[in-house]
Structure 1
Amino acid sequence: MEEKIILYRSFTRFAVALGVLNGMSLKESKQAVKDAFEHHPYAEPIFDFIDIIAIEEQEDIDFLFNEVIRVCDELGPSRDYLTLQVILEAIALTVVDAKKLEENTAALEIVEQFKVAVSEINTKIPKPPLFNMLLETRSILEWTSIYALFPFIPKRIKGEGRPVLLIPPYLGDDFSTSFVRKYLDSLGFVTYKWEMGFNMVKSHYIPRLEEKLDDIYEEHKQKVSIVGWSGGGIFAKIMANRHPNQVEQILTIASPVWGVMDMKTPVYGILEFFRGSSLKERNKRFLEELEPIPDVPVTCIYTKTDGLVPWKHCMEAESYRKDIKNIEVYGSHSGLGANASVLLIVANSLSANLHGRKIEDVTTFIEKILYPFYWNRKRKAFKLKRKLEKATAS
């Protein structure tokens, strides 16, 4: 939250000004912005920002717009800008007075400008650094060590016979997901293979996947959870967008779940060499279908040391809904299918979402120390303690 305080301060002032431009009173506009942020994870401090906005602080809308874009540009690309975009659209579409239609048109134009500006910012995600690419050699150790580690991975979660479809990564087949399937099977989930050979991430797989999803749904008379690794996560998200009535939830493992049309990765060079034409040109409509967030729980597992896919593309907008979660792990992109932490997160997330719980509540203390978020919180708590000690001493 600390790094986004400036963003939310400038954005709330901009959003309130947009509401006033659209015909609302200051009070109505502030309430509309509060309502839009009601379910946001940082709602409480954001409400404080909104409360202190006074009429004399209202500045030129163009100035406020430019200030928000400047802050976004300085913070860098983020999928969470989608949430801000949705909030602005809701405010711009709220017409409180039919006589204010001209202002409404102006507000909608400003929202479109915001979309274009943040879209441009989000094209600036760099490809993985060379160091991360070299670290992909760790995957050999991850795949060989899992045979020794697997018997010791905790088996607390109860799968209760719930169906799970697993989709392999690009150039991977069902062997790629064998350890995830074996672990989920041991917990009582009923897992299903991809069964289409090597995944080349082509749109013609979709009809067969839809048929498989329908068969599993009819067999169990239950919605199906889908787990996709890397390119497999692309299909998981498209299936959830197309068939939310049959999909329980999706879990993606180092999968580019947004912005793929502009994604910079060494993998594209390989794809274009072997396939003879640009992947983006061939699969444009297919990849555009990936952009919307499905109306099912979404859990995205990613690693900041990913050497093949930029990790920011592997995170969904957590601020968009409460049932969207991004979880960081330690590991290489190619080794995540044999990563003990990933196996635990997949099982814990499946169970938590099925029972309407938070993943933190179903994760034990011992398991938490395997994840970066635990150590990040410890570091933040230590820094806060040091600040308090210094303040007390002075």
Structure 2
Amino acid sequence: MEENQILYRIFSRLAVALGTLNGLSLKDAKKLVSKQIKKHPFKEEIKTLIDVIITDEHENIEQLLDETILVCEELGSNRNYITLEAILEQIATSISKGHDQEEYKYTNAIVERFKKEITLINKKIPQPPVFNMVMETRSLLEWSSIYCIYPLIPKRIKGNGKPVLLIPPYLGDDSSTSFVRKYLKSLGFSTYKWDLGFNMVKAHYIPRLEEKLHDIYQEHNEKVSIVGWSGGGIFAKIMANRHPDQVEQILTIGSPIWGVMDMKTPVYGLMEFFRGKSLKERNERFLAELEPIPKVPVTCIYTKTDGLVPWKHCIEANTFRKDIKNIEVFGSHSGMGANASVLLVTANMLSANIQGKKIRDVGSNIERYLYPNFWKKARKVFKSKKPIAQVVK
């Protein structure tokens, strides 16, 4: 929240002004905005920012809009801006409900301009730096070392026969997910391959995946969790958007799951598929299904040192709902299928979401040494000279 405080401060003023613009008193406008952020993870902090607003600024709403957009540009591309879009839309809808929409043309224009500018900002995510691309070679070490590390990975989670469908990455087949499947199976999950050969990330896989999902759902008579690595996460999200009644949750591993039409990547084959002229129309329909957030729990595992996919495309808006989690791990993109951290997160999150439990990070105190989040907290503790043991409480 600290780094985004300036954004939420100006955004709160814009949201309240949108209410007073349409005849609400300052008190009622603040109450309406507070209602829209009641499920936001930073609701208490934002509520404080709303409470200190003492001036009706609707006459300066254009200026507030410009300032909010400017702050977003300065902070850079961020999937969480979709939450801000939703808040403004909900305010506009609440105010205009039951009235002639023509009267609220200006209000809707403010909201649409904000959404348009955010779309442009989120198209500016750069491709992974050259250093990250070069460091993808460490995946050879990750894949070779997993044979030694695997026996040491804790096996405390109990899968209880819960069904999990695993979808391989672009240009990968079921052997790509062998270690993830093996680990989940050892914990008692019922794992399923995708059985469609090499994943070329094409729309014609979807009908067969839908059939497979339905078969697993019928066999277990319960919803199915879907785990997708890289291009496999694309299909996981599409399945969740199409069949939320059959999908328990999705877990994506280094998967580009939003803004893919504008994604910059050194994976030229994938890029050619997305931008090929002969396939452009079909691609747009196919990839448009990635933009909505599924109405099921979502966990995104990503690495900031990804050398193939820009990591910002691999995380979902965790301010949108409480059941959306982004978990950072150390490692390369190509080695995520053989990454001990990935295996641990996958098992922990599958289990936690199924049981409706919350986990602060993953695993025990010792396991947390594997995650960047631990070291970020550790640095803060070091600077404040507190005992490092407090990090993992």
TM-score (norm 1): 0.94
How far the C-alpha of 1:383 sits from its partner, in A, is: 3.5
How far the C-alpha of 1:268 sits from its partner, in A, is: 3.4
**Residue type of the alignment partner of 2:181:** R
After TM superposition, the structure 1 = structure 2 runs for residues 248-267 of structure 1, keeping only pairs within 5 Å, are: 248-267=248-267
Q: Deviations over 1:85-111 (max 9, x none)?
A: 000000011226977855522111110
- Cα distance between partner residues in 2 of 1:319 and 1:95: 23
Q: Deviations over 1:163-218 (max 9, x none)?
A: 00000000000000000000000000000001000000000000000000000000
How far the C-alpha of 1:136 sits from its partner, in A, is: 0.4
SS in 1 for 2:376: helix
Distance 1:307 1:96, change over 3 A: closer
- Cα distance between partner residues in 1 of 2:48 and 2:138: 46
How far the C-alpha of 1:254 sits from its partner, in A, is: 0.3
How far the C-alpha of 1:362 sits from its partner, in A, is: 5.8
What is aligned with 1:353? 353
Taking every aligned residue pair, what percent have the same amino acid on both sides? Answer: 68
SS in 2 for 1:136: helix
- Cα distance between partner residues in 2 of 1:213 and 1:98: 41
How far the C-alpha of 1:2 sits from its partner, in A, is: 1.4
- Cα distance between partner residues in 2 of 1:237 and 1:162: 19
Q: Deviations over 1:207-260 (max 9, x none)?
A: 000000000000000100000000000000000000000000000000001000
After TM superposition, the structure 1 = structure 2 runs for residues 1-394 of structure 1, keeping only pairs within 5 Å, are: 1-55=1-55, 60-95=60-95, 104-268=104-268, 272=272, 277=277, 281-360=281-360, 363-384=363-384
- Cα distance between partner residues in 2 of 1:353 and 1:324: 10
Distance 1:86 1:138, change over 3 A: same
Distance 1:240 1:100, change over 3 A: closer
SS in 2 for 1:283: helix
Q: CA RMSD in A?
A: 2.0
Unaligned runs of 5+ in 1: 387-394
**Residue type of the alignment partner of 1:81:** Y
**Residue type of the alignment partner of 1:84:** L
SS in 2 for 1:200: coil
TM-score (norm 2): 0.94
Q: Would you say how many aligned residue pairs link Structure 1 and Structure 2?
A: 386
How far the C-alpha of 1:269 sits from its partner, in A, is: 5.0
How far the C-alpha of 1:34 sits from its partner, in A, is: 0.7
Q: Deviations over 1:121-164 (max 9, x none)?
A: 00000001111000000000000000010000000000000000
Q: 2:274·2:280 contact (CA, 8 Å) conserved in 1? A: no
How far the C-alpha of 1:363 sits from its partner, in A, is: 2.0
Q: Which moved more, 1:301-310 or 1:58-67?
A: 58-67
Q: Deviations over 1:319-345 (max 9, x none)?
A: 000000000000000000000000000
How far the C-alpha of 1:374 sits from its partner, in A, is: 1.0
Q: 2:17·2:57 contact (CA, 8 Å) conserved in 1? A: no
- Cα distance between partner residues in 1 of 2:224 and 2:98: 46
SS in 2 for 1:35: helix
SS in 1 for 2:225: strand
